Amino acid sequence: MNNGRRRPDFRRGRQDPADPNKKPMPKWVVWLAIGLLALALVGPQIWPAEDATKITYTEFLSQVRSDKVREITINNTSNKISGEFKDGTKFSTTGNVDGLSDADEELLKQKGVDYNYSTPQPNWFTSLIPLLLPFFLIVGFFMFMQRRAMGQAGSIMSIGRSRAKAYQADKPSTTFADVAGYEGVKQEIREVVDFLRMPERFKEIGARVPKGILLVGPPGTGKTLFARAVAGEAGVGFLSVTGSDFMEMFVGVGASRVRDLFQQARKLGKAIIFIDEIDSIGRKRGAGLGGGHDEREQTLNQMLAEMDGFEATDGIVIMAATNRPDILDPALLRPGRFDRQIVVPLPEYEERLAIIKVHSRDKRMGSDVDLETMAKATPGMSGADLANLVNESALFAVRRGSKEIERIDFENARDRVVMGARRESLVLSAEEKRATAYHEGGHAVLAAVLPNSDPLHKVTILPRGMALGVTWTLPEERHTYSKEFFEDVICKAMGGRVAEMIIFGHLNSGAANDLEQATVIARRMVREWGMSEAVGPMAWHGQQQVFLGEDLMTSGREYSDETAQKIDQEVSRILREQEDRARVLLLKHRKGLDLVAQALLEEETIDGLKVDTLVQQGLGETGVSESATELGLR
């Protein structure tokens, strides 16, 4: 009678259920015991024990003359002499190389010492070693090759298995509380988690759980972090895999791994499958030069069948993340496969503030740190950028020798992340420094006087990154942009080039990046945004890539040569109009430009408020200041 209790099983090294902390005996202990037993049996034959006293040959002859030796035995092979004294003590000594001399043999006869010669036979085990050693080497070599072949066969047989990692409930988990902001995204994902945990609540009114959720957003916005939060909140099976895990050099491996992945999920009953970077296997079919036999397409076909094919997949939810939804196959995005596409955008001000607080909670902050100001000063940064910003500020604090992070550390970290590291080793000549001051001063003055420009934050002539100077504006949070805004951006970009023409009468290569940005904006105004009266309300995109599913032989340009000429003329017109506008404004604020350049030469870095003050001061003056004249800024 066992009273319904199972008997403990101690076979195969299993742990005792009564003592869960007791570990099974390691295998090396058994081999060690076998080795010690073999050494105890064979060792005495290989290395026989010797209890005789060792003496020199001279001492041996002295003992013979003293009539203390009873008998000896002479080894014919080694000439070693072993014997016994008359008191019963045994001894051994090394004889002469040529054996006993006639005089020594005569001495032994005179003293009545019994002596005899022996030729010992070699140890049987030692004689077998030369014969057995090649045998063991050959057997060991074949065993090694057999194990290697079995291992390779095993790896080949398992190559089609899924590489998905199952979430372990006992590991530290991430929850939705660890994800700052994005309340709308949390709500949509939380519904899926609630359905898997409480399906009766939804089935009462006939609701059907979405089979697939696609997280779409720029890099660093936290799509994978949401997946980890779902793994911590769901309470059901969670399998995580990346898109590249399905691809292999062997044909058919990707499809096999997809089948195995869904089989694992079905065994769990209710499960969530997360596929990170799904665009690596979900690209449009027919893209590129491959045909229908392409390995990537076979993998995608199998995934489409598993997600919503002939066999039902109730209780299995697919989550995927990508930052390239435009290249995904339409069959993958239809309802029934990915029912929901959740956009995870760049965080707004409130979300940036929450993200900075999350990453700052385990760091020692100074009393002068204002996280709200820092959140306002970091528009366009993703969650990963903000995490890096906080970490960089901590590194700057350590570099200063401070025990807490202060405001200056955040400022330096922001400059480091946005504008690049300061190039301490680069030393500008006086003429280069003066040209840089006027170049950045032209940008700064226009940023201060243009009506649609973003607020000016800081301007510096300290080399950072690849630039000799930087004019930094704080972009306001906009979701739509007007034609006037883009015109002001182009005009501000022309400020450095125009300022150099006004002051020095010639140009240099410092405006290359400004011209590139201005040309890109002007071309998009004409070709994509319909902001040109001559071209009209038409939009064209650039050449499509082959991997997006476009035909290789078709031209990427969608308009005629006449239209292309008209586009080029309009782009040139916009750029020249804004260059002339920048020249007019800088001539009007010439005195302010001189004051800003003077301040940059003296202080190297000034903020936007001081630029505004100097521009206003220049409007109220009748001439250039004496200090500017002394510096040769005329």
Convert the pLDDT of each residue in 75-113 to its tens digit.
777 777 888 887 778 888 876 666 677 777 778 777 778
How confident is residue 278, by pLDDT bands cut at 50, 70 and 90? confident
Distance CA 582, CA 488 (A): 9
**For residue 571, is it within any domain?**
yes
Are 324 and 369 within one domain? no
Sheet holding 69-75, edge to edge: 53-54, 90-94, 80-85, 69-75, 114-118
Same domain, 62 and 45: yes
Q: What angle do CA 527, 530, 531 make, to 5 degrees?
A: 105
* Mean pLDDT, range 425-441, rounded to an integer: 84
Exposure string (b/e) for 165-190, b if CB count within 10 Å is 16 or more? eebeeeeeebebeebbbbeebbeebe
Residue 19 lies in a domain: no
What pLDDT does 367 receive?
A: 86
The answer to whether residue 9 sits within a structural domain is no
CATH of the domain at 379: 1.10.8.60
Looking at the structure of the chain, the number of domains it has is 4
* Pairwise CA distance, residues 528 & 518, whole Å: 15
**336 and 411: one domain?**
no
Q: Do both 173 and 280 map to the same domain?
A: yes
Report which of 465, 431, 502, 456 is spatially closest to residue 615, judged by C-alpha positions. 456
Domain presence at residue 155: no
- In this predicted structure, what is the pLDDT of residue 294? 67
Structural domain includes residue 10: no
pLDDT digit string, tens, across residues 316-363: 888 888 888 888 888 888 888 888 888 888 888 888 888 888 888 888
Domain with 127, as residue range(s), is 24-144
Phi and psi, residue 9, nearest 5°: -115, 115
DSSP 467: B
Domain closes at, from 115, 144, 173: 144
Active site residues: 440
**How long, in residues, is the chain?**
634
Assign 309 a pLDDT band (cuts: 50, 70, 90): low
* 116 residue type, one letter: N
Q: Are residues 476 and 618 in the same domain?
A: yes
Predicted confidence at residue 11, as pLDDT, reads: 39
pLDDT digit string (tens) for 577-608?
A: 999 999 999 999 999 999 999 999 988 889 88
* Domain co-membership, 361 together with 327: no
The one-character DSSP state at 280 is: G
250: left (phi over 0), alpha (psi -120 to 50) or beta: beta
Residue 582 included in any domain = yes
* Same domain assignment for residues 122 and 185: no
pLDDT: which is higher, 540 or 599 = 599
Whether residues 192 and 299 share a domain: the answer is yes
CATH, residue 561: 1.20.58.760
Select from 397, 419, 441 the last residue of a domain. 419
For residues 223 and 96, state if they share a domain.
Answer: no
The arithmetic mean of pLDDT across residues 173-185, rounded, is 77
pLDDT score for 310: 61
Do 275 and 241 contact (CB within 8 A), yes or no?
Answer: yes
In a domain, 8, yes or no: no
Inside any domain, residue 30: yes
The CA-atom distances, in angstroms, between 286 and each of 242, 290, 296, 352 are 22, 7, 10, 41
Place of tokens 């014969």: 131
Residue 228 sits in the same domain as residue 315: yes
> For residue 162, what is the DSSP state?
-
| CA neighbor of 495 nearest in space, from 419, 444, 456 | 444
pLDDT at 445: 94
Residues 510 and 497: their CA atoms lie apart, in Å, by 8
The domain that holds 195 is classified in CATH as: 3.40.50.300
Tens of pLDDT, residue by residue over 25-71, are 666 676 777 777 666 655 555 555 556 778 777 787 888 888 888 78
- pLDDT, tens digit (0-9, with 9 covering 90-100), for 520-529: 999 999 998 9
**pLDDT value for 382:** 86
Q: Using CA atoms, how far apart are residues 344 and 330, in angstroms rounded to an integer?
A: 20
What confidence tens digit (pLDDT) does each residue in 501-517 have? 999 888 888 888 899 99
Q: Does residue 163 surpass a pLDDT of 60?
A: no
Helices (H), 242-313: 253-267, 295-308
CA 522 vs CA 436, 450, 562: distances in Å: 25, 18, 18
pLDDT value at residue 23: 55
d(CA 512, CA 509): 6
Q: What pLDDT does 400 receive? A: 87
The b-or-e profile of 426-452 (16+ CB within 10 A means b, else e) is eebeeeebbbbbbbbbbbbbbbbbbee
How far apart are alpha carbons 589 and 585 in whole angstroms? 6
Domain boundary among 325, 343, 361: 343
Q: What is the CATH number of the domain that holds 41?
A: 3.30.720.210
- E-strand spans in 234-368? 237-242, 271-276, 316-322, 340-343
Assess whether 385 and 298 both reside in one domain: no
Domain co-membership, 225 together with 85: no
